[in-house]
Amino acid sequence: MRVLVVEDDRRIAADLARGLAEAGYIADCVSDGEDAWFRGDTEDYTAIILDLGLPRLDGLTILKRWRDNGRRTPVLILTARGSWAERVDGIDAGADDYLPKPFQMEELLARLRSIVRRSVGHASSVTTVGAVTLDERQMQVSIRGEPVALSPLEYRLASYLMLHRGRVVSQFELSENIYGQDDAHDSNAIEVLVGRVRKKLGADLIETRRGFGYIVPGDGT
């Protein structure tokens, strides 16, 4: 799943990109406020990690613009500004959570998982659909308790569809959220990938809705 990291400190941005990659995410890093606003307003991200102190356009202004434009992507504010008043400003502007610097990567990942789950209406980090269980914290998919070996790409597809169970997800949305910007893939790549995941997790887990996309049935669907 793709995360936009908005951070002008190169060391922190690199640490975030590395930690997110190890946790199964794809990180797109930007350091300029204007660029961040444009990317978040025009591209589809699973979540955004947003610093407040940015060149050209500050984080709160960016966040307010996104929300005013109807962008509902979950946003985690990450900043050295730690006063309660600034936290209130950030949450009132539309942030989903707030983490002051310095931080532990484990806590950031836990908060990130939490705001993503809340955005799709789930509370637990463990999701079960039939015999298949997704454990986000362990980055593990299992069938009746037996772990299944998935490639990073297969895991991102399975986890995205399971987290959005009960909703048809288009090929375009899947492509936007499981591939990095520099990942080359042809027009039928998603179809091939879904086929591989079905072989490992069962043919009934992912249904094809012709002309619309794919769905993991659940929540009454």
CATH code where residue 159 lies = 1.10.10.10
Question: What is the structure's pLDDT at 221?
Answer: 46
CA distances from 59 to 39, 63, 197 (A): 13, 6, 38
Q: From 89, 119, 149, give the residue that closes a domain.
A: 119
Q: Assess if residue 80 is contained within a domain.
A: yes
Clarify whether residues 105 and 13 are in a common domain.
yes
Clarify whether residues 76 and 176 are in a common domain.
no
Question: What is the structure's pLDDT at 148?
Answer: 97
Clarify whether residues 131 and 81 are in a common domain.
no
Clarify whether residues 13 and 114 are in a common domain.
yes
Clarify whether residues 15 and 112 are in a common domain.
yes
Q: From 93, 119, 145, give the residue that closes a domain.
A: 119
Q: Assess if residue 82 is contained within a domain.
A: yes
Clarify whether residues 88 and 137 are in a common domain.
no
Clarify whether residues 30 and 135 are in a common domain.
no
Closest to 42 (Cα-Cα) out of 15, 65, 14, 61:
65
Question: What is the structure's pLDDT at 220?
Answer: 43
Domain range holding 44? Answer: 2-119
In whole angstroms, give the CA distance from residue 214 to residue 142. Answer: 21
Question: What mean pLDDT comes out for the span 200-213?
Answer: 94
In whole angstroms, give the CA distance from residue 94 to residue 111. Answer: 16
pLDDT at residue 194 above 50? yes
Clarify whether residues 81 and 170 are in a common domain.
no
User: Facing residues of 98 across strands?
Assistant: 77
Clarify whether residues 110 and 13 are in a common domain.
yes
Clarify whether residues 192 and 165 are in a common domain.
yes
pLDDT digits (tens, 9 = 90+) for 142-192: 999 999 999 999 999 999 999 999 999 999 999 988 887 666 666 689 999
Clarify whether residues 109 and 151 are in a common domain.
no
